[in-house]
Structure formats: structure tokens, C-alpha cells
Amino acid sequence: MTKSALDAWFAANRVAILADYYSLLRFPSIGGDPAHLPDCVACAEWVCAFLRPLGFTAELVRGDGSKPPLVLAERPADASGRTVLLYGHYDVQPVDPVDLWETPPFEPAERDGRVHARGAQDDKGQWFALLQGLRAAIENGERLPAIRIVLEGQEESGSGFLAEQALDLRRRLAADVLLVADTGKDASGRPAIVAGLRGVIHFTVTLRGPKYDLHSGQHGGLAPNPAQGIAELVASLHNPDGSIAVKGFCDNIVDPTEAEFALATERGFDENAYRDEVGVFPVGGERGVPAIVRNSFRPTVEVNGIHGGYGGPGSKTVIPTHAFAKLSCRLVPDQSPAHVWQCLKAHFEEHCPRGLTVELTEVTGNEPGFRLPIDSPVTRIAQDVLREVDPRGAVFTWEGASIPIVARLRDVTGAAPLLVGFGMQEDRIHCPNESFSLDQFQDAFRWGGLIFPALA
């Protein structure tokens, strides 16, 4: 199908496409919150019902029913050829702080050409738009590869269930190409083929002190303070130049090849555009290392939240019993999550402030970072298709973010990953007022309409 034929199909079907998109967005499928398990199941069932008329056999994989199910679907090839496995996630991030939403997070609302809702982009909008493109190709009688689909409900909380099931499901997931619909364009809006993702490991570190909250006058100067301690512990993670101070953490890091470095840096990094969009200059991380390199090819240790003691109105003179910080680390090849974890544990024990005890809990993630070849047959097909989607053609990017299950899916299925998505910074994923523009939606639709036939 040509791009203009696809666009005509989109225009003719626009009302129905958006109605289905809105139905999908209305499910509050917050996969990390057990209270929303029934919503996740209902959402996954809705997706199966959506896929069946497209010629898929589709079912839920439920395990013992305690976690959000997988959607597993398959459509036979029109002729013998490649098998494509599409991966995406139907779970979404929590919506808090909910009062910052201009319209309720699960009541999709269009404003200025953008659909606002939790999941409008990440990730429901991305794979749903792509599947609409596939629908157009099917209705137009295009020759298609065998297509398998796996949509999980725990990507935003570590992909535990899919990681657990992947080996058992390997025959049903086996494919030549692993098409991932969960990434972004480049900062200027050009389509991007993602050639690397960072891995992730996250955990909670708690410092415990006095048995009960103490009067800060009666005990000040006597009792060690966990809130002060957590600040010191967090501060100990970095050197004054912004580099990571955890011994051994950065062992085995593989620097980008010359070709990767050249492609990653050739477009430069627009610091003012970054500041205009997010409100701060890109001065985080290690001094003297270019912004792109810090984000794409270097690991990080970030504090996601730090809590302890009194936070209410006015003052309360108290030494709290405990304080904690939630941390996440981004990993690059070849940092092994297990080794990194050993280094972190040793660091926290060594730096635990005197008189307090340190506790590490809620350790999740544990997936490595990876890079992909930039000159494979599959990337060449993708480049040709993306030139049709956008005449400027595609660039390669190395994302700082993570999609924890991709490396494992690649290893289990033997498929070559192809990561193309249409997200932009202004979509504000994970943030109140997440949105996806209908232009981005339509680009994802065109990509879906063109890439499946191209992979047949």
C-alpha cells in the first residue's frame, strides 16, 4: 500500500479508530497496583476481542491469576516467509498526583490535536496505532508474514510475569523479527530506529535508628538521625565531578564503537531546546562527558524519592525512627546486573552512618542493557519503510530508558529486535497529562501499514 492509500484508509475509518482507541484508554490498567488487577484482565480481554476479527487466534496467559495476564495472539502467514513477533505493554504507570490532570486520566480527551490520557502514548497508543496500520494492510489484501503478538501487563513494574513465562512460551514466541512498539522519535521529530537501550535495576534503601520518634531537643546531639543519614548515604553515591562513586560499579563498561559514537553525536544536542522543554539545562551526570554519551552510553544511579520524618505543615521537632530512598540505576553493556548489585550492597554497608542500620528491599529490574547492530537486513528494511513514512528518513538512537524484557525475549525467541516508536518528549509519559498527538498516532499507523508487508 502506498502512504497515500493508507492515509485515505485512515481518513475513511477515523471515527471508528478513535472510538476503539478511547475504549482501550478507558481501562485503568495500572499493572503495578494489585487493586487494578481486574482492570488489567478486562483490558487484556478487550484486546483479544479486538484482535480476533483481524484473523488472530488470541488468548490470555494467566498463570495462577495473581498477576496481570499476557495477551498472546497469532495470525498465520499468507505465504511462507518470516515470522514477526510484536511486543508492547497494555499496563500503564500510576496517575498520581491526580489533581494535576486537566481532565481525568482514564477519560480520554482531545485538545489541540492531542489525545490526553494515561497510556495515550506509553504504550497503548503506540501499538494500537500500529495495529490499525496492520488492519489497513489486511483489508487491502497485502501479503503478510506470520504475525505473533505478545502484550504484557507488567512492563512498568519490571516484567516479572513475562520473564517467568518466556521460557515455557518460547515455541509460541519464536520469530525472525521482534518488533517493539514502545520507543520514541529523535528530539527533532525524525523517525528513529533504536540501536540500544539501557538496563535497569531498582530498589529501596532504608535506614533505621531510634525505636520511636524522639524529641529533637532532648535527644539532639545524642541519637543518630536516620533522615540526616539517608541524605549522607545518597550523597555518597557520586563524586563531586558527578561520576559514580560506587566501587566496581563501572567495571566492564563497553564504550560505543566509533561508528556508534559518530551516529549518536552527529546531530548534536540542543541544550536550549532541552531547557525550553523540561525547564532545566542538561547538567546532570558526569562533568566533561557529552550529553548524548551520558544518556546513551554511560550508566547512572538516580534517586527517585527520598522520605523521612515530618513533612506536614509547620514544624515538628523530632528525630524520626527511619528514613528511606528509592533508587534506580541504568546499566549499559557489559555491566552485569548481579555484579552491579554486589557493588551497591557493599557500598551501602560500608557507608552506613554510625549507629543506624541499613536495609535493602524491593529489588527489581535486574535486566542488562544492550546494543543492536546498525547494519542488519532488518534495519535496512526499516530504513526504507521509514523513508516512506517521513522523507527525511530515520536516524539511529541509543535510548537512555529501558524496556526490561527485550533482551530476554531476543535470547529466548532468537528474533532480531527492531525497535521503532513515535514518542516525543512533549508526550509527558509517566507524568500527569500524558498525551499523544494524532500526527504521531498517524505516523505509527503508517509504520504499521508498511512494515508488516515489507517483512513478509
The strand pair at 192-197 and 416-421 is best described as antiparallel
Residue from 183, 295, 413, 435 touching ligand BES (CB under 6 A): that is: 183
Q: Is 184 in the site for ligand BES (CB under 6 A)?
A: yes
Quote the strand ranges of 10-103, DSSP E: 57-61, 70-75, 83-89
Minimum distance from CB of 409 to Mn ion (Å)? 14
> Is 403 near ligand BES (CB under 6 A)?
yes
- Ranges within 191-250 binding ligand BES (CB under 6 A): 200
Closer CB to ligand BES, 186 or 232, in the complex = 186
Q: Is 399 in the site for ligand BES (CB under 6 A)?
A: yes
Dihedral, CA of residue 426, residue 429, residue 430 and residue 431, to nearest 10? 30
Q: What letters, b where the CB count within 10 A reaches 16 and e where it falls short, cover 307-336?
A: ebbeeeeeeeebbbbbbbbbbbbbbbbebe
DSSP β-bridge partners for residue 59: 72
Please state the closest distance from residue 199 (CB atom) to ligand BES, in A.
9
Q: Which of 423, 448, 449, 453 binds ligand BES (CB under 6 A)?
A: 423
Which residues does 297 contact at the CB level (< 8 Å), separation at least 6? 196, 255, 256, 260, 261, 264, 332, 398
Query: Which residue among 156, 260, 427, 434 contacts ligand BES (CB under 6 A)?
Result: 156
210 binds, among ligand BES, Mn ion, none (CB under 5 to 8 A by kind): none
By CB under 6 A, is residue 379 in contact with ligand BES? Answer: no
**Strand 435-437 and strand 114-116: pairing?**
antiparallel
Q: Do 149 and 141 meet the contact criterion of CB atoms below 8 Å apart?
A: no
Helix, strand, coil: what percent of the chain each, to 5? 35, 25, 40
The reply to whether 407 sits near ligand BES by the rule CB under 6 A is: no
86 contacts 181 by C-beta, under 8 angstroms: yes
Nine-digit cell string for 62: 494467566
* Residue with smaller CB distance to ligand BES, 130 or 200: 200
Asked if residue 123 binds Mn ion (CB under 5 A), the reply is: yes
Question: Would you say 175 or 403 has its CB closer to ligand BES?
Answer: 403
Residue whose CB is less far from ligand BES, 156 or 260: 156
For Mn ion, which residue of 122, 176, 367, 434 counts as binding (CB under 5 A)? 122
The three cell numbers of residue 82 are: 518470516
String of DSSP letters for 237-299: TB-TTS-B-STTTTTTPPPPPHHHHHHHHTT---HHHHHHHHSS-S--S-TTS-HHHHHHTS-
Confirm or reject binding of residue 404 to ligand BES (CB under 6 A).
yes
- For residue 182, state whether it binds Mn ion (rule: CB under 5 A): yes
Name which of residues 28 to 87 contact ligand BES (CB under 6 A).
none
Write out the binding residues for ligand BES, residues 105-144 only, by CB under 6 A.
122-123
Nearer to Mn ion, 74 or 122 (CB): 122
Interacting residue ranges for ligand BES, rule: CB under 6 A:
122-123, 155-156, 158, 182-184, 200, 365, 399, 401-404, 423
Interacting residue ranges for Mn ion, rule: CB under 5 A:
122-123, 182
